[in-house]
Structure 1
Amino acid sequence: MFVDKAKIFVKAGDGGDGLVAFRREKYVPEGGPAGGDGGKGGDVIFRVDEGLRTLMDFRYQRHFKAQRGEKGRNKSQHGAGADNMIVRIPPGTVLIDDDTGEVIADMTRHGQEVIVAKGGRGGRGNIRFATPNNPAPELAENGEEGQERYVVLELKVMADVGLVGFPSVGKSTLLSVVSAAKPKIGAYHFTTITPNLGVVDVGDGRSFVMADLPGLIEGAHQGVGLGHEFLRHIERTRIIIHVVDMAGSEGRDPFEDWEKINDELKQYNVGLSERPQIVAANKMDMEEAKENLASFRERTSSVRPDLEILPISSLTRQGVQELLYRAADLLDSIPQAPAVEEVVESAERKVYKLNAAEDDSFTITRDNETFVVSSPKIERMLKRMQMNSHDAILKLARTLRHMGVDEELRRRGAVEGTIVRIADFEFEFVESSSYY
């Protein structure tokens, strides 16, 4: 089964907690702080593996969680950082943030890597908080939480040549004739519902990869039928072989078929209209094909005079070898990568900066008799600090005073004993200067 789209959840490892510890060595009276830092949590890294061809593995495993860092140790030993989690994906996979729709990275090269979720920093142990005024602090931090997000993986087939055209024009038959691929072939529409790949041996030492892409219909660029599921694969191809039923065996006009498919490609991605294209005038072994071909050449000459039209018959193999030679020559004359806009490892280049004025901002509201303080800075601090020691309480009190929270609480009517809540942490408002 070919799977070309998946949605997964990734969670980087949390940082290890810092430790509160003191030296307890013989002949070392009043030993100082000796609690080490926690280790960094593991990153979630996506790596391209050219040995993979589908996203099948992600049907059975949808959650990827890296390990957390080790806790800090005594004797000033830091906890070990966790190993990164490597997620292998096939070349041609586009990573998209499910919440924002932003393209995280376009993964095309073997071995290419991108960090999708970064592990949390380890918490600092009490050796980091020692000062001349407080040489033995009972203060440490919790590890930072690792990033988490839902990621959509979209696979765009990596092929040199893409076969496009209406359903039942003979694309699958052509691929089966020129390669060892065994696509499903039937006398009904949408026999092919997933892309098929085949390696084509031209016969003169050259070869290329050809993709039989499912048949398109009018309105495909708007998602009609399985339009978007099909069109994304065409973006990767370096040239397009447009297979046209020149016999009009289903009562359609070959020229109108060609126009409609080209319009769908242009509507989906304007760059596809500029991609080198060869028209494979198929089913030339059938009646009326020659007459239709003459009309087709005349009508296309006024629209696209440089268009290459090669008559073939997949059934009798008439003209097939000439088509392969021309495709190989065209591939030799154009760059290796298709001219489409790509986003490469944008996740690793981003730099986020905090605005100092916004970071120190806060709001105070009332919940009955309780004052509720909302501040990103203080909430981050409470999440990191281990609030089970006197030193941690003092640090919080100093921060509130320096930010002006105390003064604003008094202005709004807070008195000794008033309950104040910040996130999930509640405490009594105290006027005593001993806390500062």
Structure 2
Amino acid sequence: MPEETGFALVDRDLRVEQFSELFARFAAPGQTVAAGSKLEELYPEVFGLEEIVAHLLDAPGESFAIVCVHRETSAQEEYLLDLKLVALTAPAEARAPLLFTVTDRTARHRLQQQAIQQKNELLLMQAMLGPQQQVLAKSILGNSPAMMQLKAAVQKIAHAPASTILLQGESGTGKSHVARMIHYLTFDGQMPFIELNCAALPENLLEAELFGYEKGAFTNALKAKKGLIEEAEGGTLFLDEIGELTPNLQAKLLHVIETRKFRRLGSNQEQQVHMRCLAATNRDLKTAIAEKKFREDLYYRLNVVSLTLPPLRELGDDIILLAEQFIERYRLEFKKNVTGLEESARRLLRQYDWPGNVRELRNLIERAMIFCETSSLKASDLALPKTLAAQPPSPSFLLPEQGLQLEELEKSLLQQALERAHGNKTRAATLLGLSRDTFRYRLEKFDIA
């Protein structure tokens, strides 16, 4: 809707001399607009402005405005108007020394009001969800041995707020959630938690985001900006996908972790920072070190405390526990009367290999909840790949009558798994039904590179 402006020329006593059609249209309902009409009768909002008018007459060119005036016309149309009274540049010589304008700002003010309302609603929602998010951040679901071991480790780590921590595990295992849990347990949610995905930005933008910059540091640096390291002061800086950092940024990050000092881009002044650094990766950093893609000194500096998150396929009935948690979440969000899983669905969830881990499970349940029309999820509601949904039972092995050398067999199986997985240790471990850590231990045991 275009913004239109009406006007009127008024004298020192605020009587209308000349006026436009739009000025007359927005006058107060029931009033007849004519030359000689009093402005305060046509626009009651200007009542009592005698002192302001006197000031304007002594200061040509100055103005006085009243914004967001609500007007309902005789045709029962509602408008939001901006009113302005302006002193002309030569008031002493003018018969009508004041210009009064009325501008239709309906569309603009309504957009502003909607933005304010949405902001207030968001603040209210954050206030309502804040305690729930902190409770969620302090909880790791699962009762399997692997999850109980992870919970115990996290509780211990929370009491060492200065130690750097490296979270390792396959994509989708919940490294970001564990990082938030460590933060909330350490700082009780009172200090900042700053997260950055190192794979999301090119090197030049990533450096500016991390370290900040001074005005004029580069083209379009029109003002100084804090970096995420600075924003994390007193709290936690969480660097996800740390293995994707370039060697240049790896060196700069190592300096920050070791000295707790940094410089903004374009500045020669070092600043002190006090924050905990958490890092996460799904890459094998030792392999990256061997390939000269990751600094060994940074690895050992990050690896003060290391946690490896187990893949979902190793968590047994925790898969069902997590699925039921997601069902409850989406039941409330989608307003569905779905309360659980049928046995056929439970069986299918246990059999699936879960290459995408918890993230894949969450997306699967979300889709199922969108389309489900019954009170519980069935196997047919779960859109799992048919080729992977049901794994065949493992073949039995018969011990030869003459016996065998167990260690030689174990070594051979490890080598065959690596060959079949084309050197991918995570996949090779899966082929043998081992966790990644157990697989690495056995490789070292047999000195297999």
TM surpasses 0.5: no
More strand by share: 1
Instruction: Quickly name the TM-score band, shorter chain normalised.
Output: under 0.3
Higher relative contact order (CA 8 A, sep 6+): 1
Q: TM-score when scaled to structure 2?
A: 0.25
Q: TM-score when scaled to structure 1?
A: 0.26
